[in-house]
């Protein structure tokens, strides 16, 4: 589900964007590459928002990922802050020239052999770190929908959705 976008700033040194859900609104986000990269596992982008005091506060980070189906580059991570009840997982699809669409999807526990969620619960579970189910510790998404961990379509009737539905 698309929940926002990021476009290149006029000066070209960062991206400006917004993310809006039914209960959360981030109308003035700034996304840029980290000033210092201290590790090969560092985030590709950091996301900032200005707080009520006019200070820039980091509220997110994104790591580079590749779709298994076609090796397409995308970025996955979280929008989070100590004031939130839970983190907001996001993935960005697009490019640095045209900008990025911000996508979201609910994470769910995997099904067991009987078709139920882990523990026999037929409903999506929301446990673990940050109020979400099982999480990929590298910043990516984990199963439970029509998208696999690499963003590929894994649902029933394929109908060329892999080319039109990003994850």
Q: Which residue has the higher pLDDT, 150 or 81?
A: 81
Cα–Cα distances in Å, from 10 out to 15, 95, 152? 9, 16, 33
Q: Please answer whether residues 118 and 112 qualify as being in contact, where contact means their C-beta atoms are separated by less than 8 angstroms.
A: yes
* pLDDT recorded at residue 106: 75
Query: In terms of residues, how long is the chain?
Result: 167
Q: What is the pLDDT of residues 107-164, one digit of tens each?
A: 666 655 555 555 544 444 333 333 333 444 444 444 445 555 665 555 554 444 445 5
- Give the model's confidence band at 40: pLDDT under 50 very low, under 70 low, under 90 confident, else very high: confident
Q: Is the pLDDT of residue 38 over 60?
A: yes
| Residue 65 Cα distances to 57, 81, 91, 141, 150, angstroms | 25, 23, 9, 10, 8
Q: Which positions ≥6 away from 80 have C-beta within 8 Å?
A: 59, 60, 87, 88, 130
As a whole number, the mean pLDDT across the chain is: 77
């Amino acid at each position: 589900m698309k929940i926002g976008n990021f476009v290149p700033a006029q000066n070209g040194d960062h991206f400006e964007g917004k993310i809006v859900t039914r209960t959360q609104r981030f109308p003035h986000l700034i996304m840029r590459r980290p000033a210092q990269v201290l590790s090969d596992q560092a985030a590709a982008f950091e996301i900032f928002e200005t707080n009520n005091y006019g200070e820039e506060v980091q509220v997110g980070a994104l790591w580079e990922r590749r779709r298994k189906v076609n090796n397409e580059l995308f970025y996955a991570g979280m929008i989070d802050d100590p004031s939130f009840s839970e983190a907001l997982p996001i993935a960005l699809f697009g490019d640095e020239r045209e900008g990025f669409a911000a996508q979201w999807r609910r994470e769910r526990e995997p099904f067991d052999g009987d078709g139920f969620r882990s523990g026999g619960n037929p409903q999506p579970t929301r446990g673990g770190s940050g109020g979400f189910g099982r999480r990929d510790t590298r910043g990516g998404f984990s199963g439970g929908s029509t998208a696999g961990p690499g963003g590929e379509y894994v649902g029933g009737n394929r109908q060329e959705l892999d080319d039109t539905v990003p994850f």
